[in-house]
Amino acid sequence: MKYSKSCHPLYSKKWADMNIEQLANSGALQIKLYVPGKSKKEVERELKLTETVKMASNENPFSASEQAKEAIIAALDEIHMYPNPTSLELREALTGIQAVSKDEITVGNGSDGVIYNLGMAVINQGDEVLIPKITFPVYETITRVMRGRPIFTRMRDLRIDLEDIIRHIGEKTKAIFLCNPNNPTGDILSKDEILAFLKETPPSMFPSSRRVRVWLPCPIRNLLRER
Ligand SMILES: Cc1ncc(COP(=O)(O)O)c(C=O)c1O
């Protein structure tokens, strides 16, 4: 049977009349537009240059290693199959490097992917998430998409102000994003500064359940042991 648009059972005039602002995730609408840097090719074409080196972004001007290229070529025979969705082999291989169990390692599509997964796993609507005012923008993005409430903490001379973060920890604080070294300021928090910060942070911020230990990157976990 053929339906005309308006008598299709799934057709609702309510949806059809909505504009994109009404349809979209309200958190996503608050995200600032990400403006990517120009590619090396674009710059060379625009400025009529031939030999440029791109200094921004995590790109390697020296190309990928030969080993990585060989591994990619070897994997071509398997690209018609889904990879193991839990990245089991990779997690097992990484186990030796950081002396953690495979269940304590999460794998994502780049570190952006890990940050998005983390946000989806823990941020609820209304949760407060502490984010330094000048830092990597993805922290704010995932917080807003999950309808969390970003609380922006102060910078001190372009450094993350850990004391201001401590001041803002409250009942509703679900997560704190600390980028180290910080992008885009390039500033580094020392081990001693992080250790002092962890000592000041209420224990409730560090649930000890095995399921959530995955939040903490290995170096931070090691610092917690010293705490
Ligand atoms: C602090 C930070 N986190 C995550 C990323 C994203 O990295 P990836 O390419 O691994 O997704 C970047 C990229 O610049 C970054 O600076």
CB 21 within 8 A of CB 29: yes
Distance 111 CA to ligand 1 centre (A): 6
Does the structure show a pLDDT above 70 at 85?
yes
- pLDDT grade, residue 227 (50/70/90)? low
The pLDDT score that the predictor gives to residue 1 is 53
Distance 112 CA to ligand 1 centre (A): 6
CB 194 within 8 A of CB 222: no
Percentages helix, strand, coil for the chain (3-state, rounded to 5) are 45, 10, 45
Reading the block at residue 194, the tokens are 């992080």
Look at ligand 1, atom 16, and give the residue with the nearest C-alpha: 183
φ/ψ of residue 223, rounded to 5:
-65, -35
Instruction: Give the pLDDT confidence of 101-128 residue by residue, as tens digits.
Output: 898 888 999 999 999 999 999 999 999 9
- Among 114, 135, 136, the mutation site with the greatest number of ligand 1 atoms within 8 A of its Cβ is 136
Distance 121 CA to ligand 1 centre (A): 19
Question: What structural domains and CATH numbers belong to the chain?
Answer: 107-226 (3.40.640.10)
User: From the CB of 180, is ligand 1 less than 6 Å away?
Assistant: no
User: From the CB of 59, is ligand 1 less than 6 Å away?
Assistant: no
Distance 4 CA to ligand 1 centre (A): 48
Residue 184 CA: nearest ligand 1 atom is: 16
Does the structure show a pLDDT above 60 at 133?
yes
Instruction: Give the pLDDT confidence of 12-58 residue by residue, as tens digits.
Output: 667 777 888 888 999 999 998 888 889 999 999 999 999 898 887 77
